[in-house]
Each structure stands twice: as C-alpha cells, then as structure tokens.
A and B are shown apart, each in its own frame.
Chain A
C-alpha cells in the first residue's frame, strides 16, 4: 500500500472539526478550533481509512490526501 500524506488547507478550513472527531490521531485543532494535520501530515500505517474518512466528511473540502 502506498504511503498517504494529508494537508488541511488553512484558507478553506472553517473549524467544523469533523476531521478531529473522526481521526483524532491525524488532526489537531488550534485555539479557535481550526484544524491542522499532525506533524508533517504523514499518515501512519493502519490509519489510512481514517484519513479518507476525514477527507470525505469535511464540509468545506479542505483536506487533501495524496498518495506518495
């Protein structure tokens, strides 16, 4: 399986926090509740499904998932 990397587009994120709820290992929220990817966005093995789940539930389509 190829390695996944996630990135939250800061211009698009409006703080719905769906990603944090679905994949708390992959996302963190700032003091305003807006989301960032954890670390450099590399998705640890075993969490790929959660990355896609977060991506497909973001109302603002702010999460990019790329396969490396």
Chain B
C-alpha cells in the first residue's frame, strides 16, 4: 500500500515535446499512433532513456530487445509494468514476475494445460462463444466490435478453463482496467483491483479444496512445485492473477487489431475468405504488426545493451511491438503482408518468459477471425464512429464501431 495520498495519486503527465529524451508510453499521441514515434526513437539510438517513471530505458531495435529478454542476470522481471511509482513488491504473479532459479518450476506447472493439444480440446467451446456473441448483434447491421465481440472471447474462454461462471467476465474486465491502465498512475486503483480479485479467487480455491474437479484451479491445487511440494495458496492465487491479467485484454487487443485491419483492407479480407488456409499465417502477421504486449524489466546491475550503457535502478520498457517493426529484422516492416513467409516475430516475448498462453491466444485469434469472416464477410469502419485505443502496457482497440455489408 502507498504511504501517503500524494504518492497514490500522481498528477497528469506533461505532454511530450522531445520523444528521444523524454518518451512516455502513456502520452495520448503514443496511444493514438505509436509507430512513427518508434521510428524516431530507433533512428536516434538502439536504447533511449526518459526521466519519467523514476527513470526508464526503452530498447528500440529487435536486437536490443532480444539482448535484454535473454539477460536475466542484469534485468529482473520482479516488476513487469512501468509505472509512476515503485512501491514495495507485494502481489507477485509467478512465473511472469519470477527470475531464475524460481522461474522454471513455477512455469513448468502452468505449461501442460496450455499446450496446442489442450487448446484443441477447448476450441469447440471458443467457436461456440464466438457464434453466441455474433448472434446477439448480427441483425443490427452494425456493432462496436471491441465492446460486443473481441472483449468477451478471451474472458469467457479463460473462465471456462478455470471452471468459473462465464458471466463473471465483467468483474474480470473491471479489475484488469484498474490494474493495467488506471494502476500506472494510481496506486489505490491498482491495490483495489488486486484485493478484489484475490478475494474472489480465494473463495474459489476454498471451494475446490472441498470439491475438486478437473478445471485449471483444481489442477493447480494438485500440482507439485519445486522439491515436489504442493504449491502454496499464495502461489496459486498469484498464478491465477497472472492468467487473468495476462490472458484477457491481451487477446482482446490482438483480435481487435486484426479486425480493425480487416475492416480497412478489403483485399486482405477477400483473400482470407477465398483461402482460409492462409488465416494462421495472417494471424502471425497481425501479431507482428499489431503486437499488443509491452513488458518491463528492472535493471539490477549496470551493463551495456547494443553498445549503450544502462544503469541499475532504472526500469526498462521492453517493447516487443517496437522490435517487431524494426526494418533491420523485417523487410517492409511497416506493411502488413498477410502471407509473409519468414516471420520470427517476438509478440509473445523471447527467452524464458515466452508467454505461457501463446497457444491459447493463437487459437482464440484464429477461431475469432474465422467465425467472424464466415458470418460477416463484408464490414468496414463506421465513419460516424470513433476508434479508440487502450493506454499503456497493452495496445488494442477499445471502441471499434463497424458497419456490416458491402459499401453502398
């Protein structure tokens, strides 16, 4: 908890005028269109610095991002969100907030439920969820695709995996907004979200202990951690926090950005309808070009990255999205090429912290796009509406008004 009101609610950030020396990933200009900013930063240096957020670096090239992601000696994952405040570390979420040697056993526990085979078993439910959602708005001829479609798919899928009611999804969405968006600048919002979420899951934990089932919460309660010991309640709660925080607005954003692209690009839409086998390749390209997730590290020991000195005590904004737009790594990096053949994108991270839910996210994206295109093959942005984007750590459309049918 914060020790004074002033530490919990900080003033709004002044607008950025010098991106190279004073970048701010919460600035409205960045939120609206970060791509030209990353280009400016990359042209200046492979690593840039800002005094904001109590001191923070940002690697701007694929190479620099990779060096940091692979270097767990100098860069810790104990803080994974760049914020205005750095309170004592409390709510851990292993393995995303773990460093070696604790990381591996914490991750191994979570991997088996998220393999591609496990995702195949979940796929029919996700396909049904997508169609249930489309049924609700297709007759209207228009919808806000972010509010009515993309938002609900990952929430319901993860609720299904955890064995909790899919209708509790609205609660999850509120907590995630408090933690990932409001929490960057407001400690009270962050803690309130964490507290409510912990209370909710604690009740489910107690219930599973009395009546175990085969859902993911029960699997975690049965799992053995380091040394063959069962996981502590605190560990299980932390991992559930992680699944919810990392598994929902990330995929919501990824599906939303894909639909945003397709709404504006009839040629790509037509090609995917004619060649549905190309959809998985297109999904990888959407993941590269519109990567939703930016992570963070804390510099523990002075070192150099791509020749640039970095000093302990600073945070690092680990921008996988910026890495994925680096023209040194990807020819035509700023073009969306839905049949791109060579695509080593880092949307799910690089190194030991590779997203544990990557197979889930890919399956949800593929199913969501397939089902949408089957039922709404023609759609476009509503010229009377406004597309808005989330702020901060996860980027995706939060309002996505679209009209169905061919342009009149």
Contact = CB atoms under 8 A, between A and B. Distances in A.
Interface residues of B, number: 23
Give chain A's interface residue range (CB within 8 Å of chain B).
10 to 19
Contact of B342 (A14, A29, A32, A56): A56
A15 B108 CA distance: 11
Given A17-B116, A21-B280, A59-B344, A33 B350 contact: no
A contact face: mostly helix, strand, loop, or mixed: loop
A33 B114 contact: yes
B86 interface: no
A14 B348 CA distance: 11
B346 A21 contact: no
A23 interface: no
Contacts of B141: none
A53 B341 contact: yes
Interface string A50-68: 0001001111110000000
Interface string B105-117: 0001001101111
A33 B111 contact: yes
A16 B112 contact: no
Nearest to A20: B116
B301 interface: no
Interface string B136-147: 000000000000
B358 A17 contact: yes
Given A56-B342, A57-B343, A59-B344, A16 B354 contact: yes
Contacts of B280: 21
Interface string A13-47: 01111101100000001011100000000000000
18 contacts: A14-B352, A15-B354, A16-B348, A16-B358, A17-B358, A17-B359, A20-B116, A31-B112, A32-B108, A32-B111, A33-B116, A56-B344, A57-B342, A57-B343, A59-B344, A59-B348, A60-B350, A61-B344
